[in-house]
Amino acid sequence: MDIKQYKEVLNAAVRHAHEHHNYITEEKYQEFFAPLELDDDQDKLTRNYFTELKINFGEWDGTESDDLPFDEEDGSYLKFYLEELDELPQYSDEEKQKIAKAAVEDDDAEAKKKLINMHLKDVVDMAKLYVYHGMSLEDLVGEGNIGLMMAVDLLGTLDSVDELDGFIGKTVMDAMDAAIERDGVDKNGIDAILERITGIGEAAKELSEELRHDITPEDLAKETDFTIEEIDEAMRLTGNAIEGLVKPRV
């Protein structure tokens, strides 16, 4: 298994699930991962990761889950923040369309301010999809709001007001994805395994080049802090495709 390619596909599949309310169909899962030809262990690892992120297999049924991993601080923040948002002006659908049109087509500064306020609750809803990655809700909302402001600043790149909602949603999610990647908060699941596999691969390549021959897991374990079990797991999950590392002949 090519770890870099696998991680790229995994991130794309998770993003797809977030865009669909943390749901992914089996058909879409296969579309993402079938080209990688995952074996049973790799497929199980991937599906377990989806489970850890509360990503469900199937079609979203239109209901929102209240089963969120909030601690007292997150819960208090959400309560008070939503109360603040409730005090903002409310607009009818017709008014929203006029504001969006003025912001996109006329570059109206006041309309842009209203547009930001109109989408603040949407940022909260998107942040809820990401809380299983380990970041606090407050941090996710903060990053999402930065993405929202960036999107509004870039409205001039749109060809039509019809692209507005999709563009804002994508930019907000991009900001949250970047924050999670930057902070490296998800180190308890698949990220930790992939990081370990990468470390083992780099160490095996370096040691085999130094010795000028392929090495065994036992050789690598003697020269590094990796255990035999960790090295064996890495070999299994990569289909024994770690450069310079071979299983000893029985």
Encode pLDDT of 60-106 as tens digits.
888 776 667 677 788 889 999 999 999 999 999 999 999 999 999 99
pLDDT at 108: 94
Structure tokens at 126: 């998107």
pLDDT at 39: 87
CA–CA dist 248, 220 (Å, integer) = 12
Asked if 155 and 164 touch (Cβ cutoff 8 Å), the reply is yes
pLDDT at 249: 59
Its pTM stands at 0.78
CA–CA dist 130, 140 (Å, integer) = 8
**Low pLDDT (below 50) residues in the chain:** 187
Give residue 35's region: left, alpha or beta (phi > 0; psi -120 to 50): alpha
CA–CA dist 197, 78 (Å, integer) = 38
Asked if 25 and 57 touch (Cβ cutoff 8 Å), the reply is yes
pLDDT at 184: 67
What's the Rg (C-alpha) of the chain?
23
Length of the chain: 250
| Architecture of the domain made up of 72-183 | Up-down Bundle (1.20)
Asked if 70 and 78 touch (Cβ cutoff 8 Å), the reply is yes
Tokens 């209203």 — which residue? 114
Asked if 208 and 13 touch (Cβ cutoff 8 Å), the reply is no
pLDDT at 185: 56
Interior angle at CA 105, CA 102 and CA 106, nearest 5: 60
pLDDT at 12: 96
